[in-house]
A = this chain, B = another copy of it.
């Protein structure tokens, strides 16, 4: 005999008060006598009462945060999603995930529609899009939105992301400090702002050292593209140092170099970016740039929440989470051939 879940009225009846009073207890209004409050709370536990989200969001604001992501099965988005969810749980919010079917404008619009229809209180977008806000404008003027993106491009939307440029600079400088005359770069896709920022960081570190930047190889974030780039690089006799824009591509580079008989780190040093959990067990263990994406996700939620609770809060400048070099065995001093 499964009864329907108890409502605020059932609680009120049991406690012998009005529904409004129960609501006040729920929302911790100050003007409720201690006696009444305890009557109500004990009635709630007795019935196993649970506030109904739908009713709440119908009347007032919802407590749903939408996460708009390109693909939550990838490492970056899923780590960020985890952080958002954890922070949301702490704040009493829930998280709805919507993945993009593609990055076409139509798909983005459809995904936004889904979120708006849910009446989300805020949105965290984890997208490879240029932050021109053009595409996200249907969202923009409806709910507080934050873009998880580690670029410093001016943007109509608040940005929260990792310090890609700084991390890439650290990685590059690390290699230069080890005595390498230059550093090759396997970059990510041009349409990902994070990839562009890493490339910028790499280039600026080389410039600061007075070294001319070699041509960039572009990959697609995955191991296969790293492997291809690695095969090209392996043909270059003068090659001694490579910085890959993420760990998966670094892994591909490692494999390609090994197959060509180039020893890492003896002949060539390789550095990645991300510090995925596997990186410490690559062969050799990968020197990389750790980015705390869970923390980034938390910060995203924080930013969205302040904009929800205080609609007119000044838009924060881009929030940047530092990224730090983790030195492992894949990078070592330059040795003369």
A residues sitting closer than 8 Å to B (CB atoms) are 2, 5, 50-55, 57-58, 62, 64, 71-73, 78-79, 81-82, 85-86, 89, 94-99, 101, 113-114, 116-119, 141-142, 222-224, 226-227, 248, 251-252, 254-255, 258, 277-278, 280-283, 285, 294
Contact = CB atoms under 8 A, between A and B. Distances in A.
Nearest to A138: B48
Given A81-B97, A98-B85, A117 B255 contact: no
Nearest to A93: B114
Given A54-B62, A95-B97, A278 B73 contact: no
A199 B99 CA distance: 35
A329 to B, nearest CB: 10
Given A73-B79, A81-B73, A114-B89, A226 B281 contact: yes
A99 to B, nearest CB: 5
Contact of A223 (B96, B99, B255, B278): B278
Given A278-B223, A281-B252, A294-B73, A99 B119 contact: no
Contacts of A254: 281, 283
B116 A5 contact: yes
13 contacts: A5-B116, A52-B119, A53-B117, A54-B118, A54-B119, A64-B96, A71-B82, A72-B78, A82-B99, A96-B96, A224-B281, A226-B281, A255-B282
A294 B226 CA distance: 24
B223 A117 contact: no
Contacts of A85: 72, 97-99
